[in-house]
Structure 1
Amino acid sequence: MLDSVDSGGPERRSALIAHELACLNIDIAALSEVRLHEEGSLREHGAAYTLFWSGKPRTEKHLSGVSFMIKNSILSKLENLPTGHSDHIISLRLPLHNKQHVVLFSICAPTLQADPAEKDKFYTDLRLLTQKVPADDKIIILGDFNARVGKNFEAWKGVLGKHGVGNCNDNGRLLLEFCAEQQLTITNTIFQQKNSLKTTRMHPRSKHWHLIDYVLVRRRDVCDVHHTHMMPSAECQTDHQLVCCKLKLNLKFKPKRGSIPRRRLQVNSLQSATMRDRFQVNLQTRLENHSIDSLDPSPETLWHHIKNSILQSSEESLGFSFKKNKDWFDENNQEIQELLRKKGTAHQAHLALPSCHARKAAFCLACSSNRNFMTSKTSGGSI
């Protein structure tokens, strides 16, 4: 996401992902394997999203990690911020109308080759967290389960729909058993659509596409789900495809409290000799013309007199500054958009004919151009 020094990807990948989510009008995104330490947040002002993550301690390697990326328009009205439980689970509770709530979990399950004890711990932790959710609350679990659940819907009625993909593996059985126990449904399998709109990751060796990223909801709330499908147009520099789930939820936001905006003086203008002289004359005049009450020559009175004189002179001479949230990503937005458009076109052409070496080379060149552009901007260079 932010990318470590030894990462092969461009810096500020979070800005690219936020911009992609803004183009697709995604309200809340659950991201897996963000590989950031501990807990924290990062606001992307240009795309108007904020990233919240939960990862491993700083003493351990950059592995796993989960996060939510939330629209700032939604974030400013929430009652509580996301809560990190481990480097595999982070949760968020949203208020709904009629005194209901929906609890979202962003997860990253252990891989198929992981230690069985690690898998048991993950599902034990997730089970305890879901059991703590009030019975009236809705539950949505999103993320990379590293599991293939197959399409045997008759054996897993209520858990699987009629439109699954491929065969089930060991991790898939763990997921199916968890869903059956917690009365959850895998929404990816309940909609009839092409397999290309279901599968989310291509195996690096076999080159076969598999469904391993899921959206789970309570069985009684399946009617809230309008559609769950993969979005091939989303390009966020990852080997997983973005899964989009459209839900019918009426959020109830807390009323916004009125507050006085904080203003900042333009102190940088004091670098000008003319402005400096103007401020000094203004301040000296106020100090000389102000008559201090002789009946109360206390230090408090003297302090308030000096403080008010400085503030009034500063406001009159310097004025206030207006905060501008611009960084290199916002300033180069047009160039970035053109690079992303070319990369998206090359990516779709490569997917349409994977055996064509020319199309693959064009896609690799587009990726390299994007990476070089981001590196040059973040390192202070130019193209």
Structure 2
Amino acid sequence: MGIFFQCGRTKIKRQRHAPTSKGVPKLTLACWNIRTMLDSADSGRPEHCSALIAHELARLNIDIAALSEVRLHEEGSLREHGAGYTLFWSGKPRTEKHLSGVGFMIKNSILPKLENLLTGHSDRIISLRLPLHNNQHVVIFSIYAPTLQTDPAEKNKFYADLHLLTQKVPADDKIIILGDFNARVGKNFDAWKGILGKHGFGNCNDNGRLLLEFCAEQQLTITNTIFQQKDSLKTTWMHPRSKHWHLIDYVLVRRRDVRNVHHTSVMPSTECQTDHRLVRCKLNFNLKFKPKRGSISRRRLQVNSLQSATVRDRFQANLQTRLENHSTDSTDSSPETIWHHIKNSILQSSEESLGFSLKKNKDWFDENNREIQDLLRKKRTVHQAHLALPSCHARKPAFRLACSKLQQKLRDIQNKWWTDLAEKTQLCADTGDHKGFYEALKTAYGPTYQYQPCSPRLSNSVHHTTTSKV
């Protein structure tokens, strides 16, 4: 937006000043169909591909990502400590085939701001509620709509459920719906004013009409169509047979909140071996921070370093010096004073001689993070080259080869990590090192993040609490 001055036949445009801090996006959301990324093993533990997704989200600085086709049973959570995200999902019961499934991947720094737990309404809808400044809230839905070939009764049920849930949201709350709608809404701006923008894409189909009617009822706007940009920054999925690109993943907001949407665009650079592109939406929403409670952090001494003769001698000499100095200088010989000095002498000598152990909750992916990041960077370079010239017959095989090499290298790194951990655990068991043995067990099975959904549908189900160990 600018101001025009006319001088003769020439128009000169003077740009306004750069936007102030009030216009800077405060919240970055994304929606992504990850059909080929997450698997559901018989053990109920997702594969390490969730770590790759988390690293891609961290690279794009995504705060909350709505994931479609997660394909995991029931409900649960998985924390990725290295990338700083936690995955929550809602899927079908374990007795049914693990199709569909929805979820959120949320930054760990945002989790303390959640006033309520995430609610899994079905295998196609999950929601969360975040507090904003000025006593406002935003309700975010992650959805996965039925495909075009699905029975019409199932489509109607999905939109009826979504309509009921949005109706229950307080009128003052903001609503954001993200996900794979499997619908093409077209670009008929004149017929759907307020719902579609002037920059839509493609033609409308039956699923698109259902989505447009739902948006008209709920006063929602499809933000993908309101920004002028290249078609490659709009389309999210390529049809496997026709090879035509379509726009089927959307970000919907209430019509009155469109002014808070900074930008909605596809990110072609994201690549995690899924056939959908990630849609990123930047919003001018400022999350409300909870006041921090004053608490003393607990630190652990490196007691294992006493096995070294040098460290042990230094500790004994330090402690002996402190005790002798007190015995010569002190005049108070009461038991309380003596005990207080002995305790302080031991603690101070331990801090100086042993030091504190660094808290780490790492798995095989985190411990080899630098090497894995180098591999991902090489694969991303080949992917960018393929995107720059998709018609080149040599670049696509090179990209597939890079993906194959990355996958094989990840398996080798993972197997080596587990082999070393197993040998360490067995050595601790053979030598009677009980502390090292249980530390190794905690490395293999923990840490965990408890997730207790509050939806009535989930109250009688078994909740999974898993980690990123594979």
| Cα deviation, residue 169, structure 1 | 0.7
Alpha-carbon separation, structure 1, partners of 2:413 and 2:73? 25
Q: What is the aligned length?
A: 348
Q: Deviations over 1:282-312 (max 9, x none)?
A: xxxxxxxxxxxxxxxxxxxxxxxxxxxxx99
Match of 2:197 in 1: 161
Alpha-carbon separation, structure 2, partners of 1:85 and 1:271? 54
Match of 1:123 in 2: 159
In structure 2, which of residues 386, 390, 396 is the aligned counterpart of residue 360 of structure 1? 396
CA 1:41–1:271: 2 relative to 1, 3 Å: farther
CA 1:59–1:258: 2 relative to 1, 3 Å: farther
CA 1:266–1:115: 2 relative to 1, 3 Å: farther
Match of 2:125 in 1: 89
Is 2:276 aligned against 1:240? yes
Aligned 1:202-217 pairs, distance under 5 A: 202-217=238-253
The amino acid of 1:12's aligned partner reads H
| Cα deviation, residue 29, structure 1 | 0.8
In structure 2, which of residues 277, 286, 293 is the aligned counterpart of residue 250 of structure 1? 286
The amino acid of 1:346's aligned partner reads V
Match of 1:29 in 2: 65
Aligned 1:297-336 pairs, distance under 5 A: 322-336=358-372
SS in 2 for 1:188: helix
Alpha-carbon separation, structure 1, partners of 2:378 and 2:246? 27
User: Do the aligned residues in 1 keep the contact of 2:142 with 2:177 (CA within 8 Å)?
Assistant: yes
Alpha-carbon separation, structure 1, partners of 2:98 and 2:304? 40
SS in 1 for 2:177: strand
SS in 2 for 1:345: helix
- Let me know the Cα RMSD of the aligned residues: 2.9
CA 1:114–1:378: 2 relative to 1, 3 Å: farther
Match of 1:300 in 2: none
Which range is displaced more, 232-241 or 195-204?
232-241
Aligned 1:159-308 pairs, distance under 5 A: 159-262=195-298
Alpha-carbon separation, structure 2, partners of 1:64 and 1:270? 54
Match of 1:373 in 2: 409
SS in 2 for 1:226: strand
Structure 2 portions without partners, runs of 5+: 1-36, 316-342, 420-470
The amino acid of 1:94's aligned partner reads L
Is 2:147 aligned against 1:111? yes
The amino acid of 2:161's aligned partner reads D
CA 1:35–1:271: 2 relative to 1, 3 Å: farther
In structure 2, which of residues 5, 23, 39 is the aligned counterpart of residue 3 of structure 1? 39
| Cα deviation, residue 210, structure 1 | 0.4
SS in 2 for 1:191: coil
| Cα deviation, residue 31, structure 1 | 0.9
Match of 2:328 in 1: none
CA 1:152–1:2: 2 relative to 1, 3 Å: closer
CA 1:120–1:271: 2 relative to 1, 3 Å: farther
SS in 2 for 1:357: coil
| Cα deviation, residue 351, structure 1 | 2.6
Alpha-carbon separation, structure 2, partners of 1:268 and 1:173? 66
Is 2:179 aligned against 1:143? yes
Match of 2:329 in 1: none
Q: Deviations over 1:15-59 (max 9, x none)?
A: 111111111111111111111111111111111111111111112
SS in 1 for 2:142: strand
Alpha-carbon separation, structure 1, partners of 2:157 and 2:302? 55
The amino acid of 2:254's aligned partner reads R
TM-score norm. by structure 2 comes to 0.68
| Cα deviation, residue 374, structure 1 | 1.9
Match of 1:299 in 2: none
Structure 1 portions without partners, runs of 5+: 279-310
Alpha-carbon separation, structure 2, partners of 1:362 and 1:73? 38
Is 2:149 aligned against 1:132? no
SS in 2 for 1:214: strand
Of structures 1 and 2, the one scoring higher in RCO (CA 8 A, sep 6+) is 2
SS in 2 for 1:110: coil
Identity of aligned residues (%): 83
SS in 2 for 1:380: helix
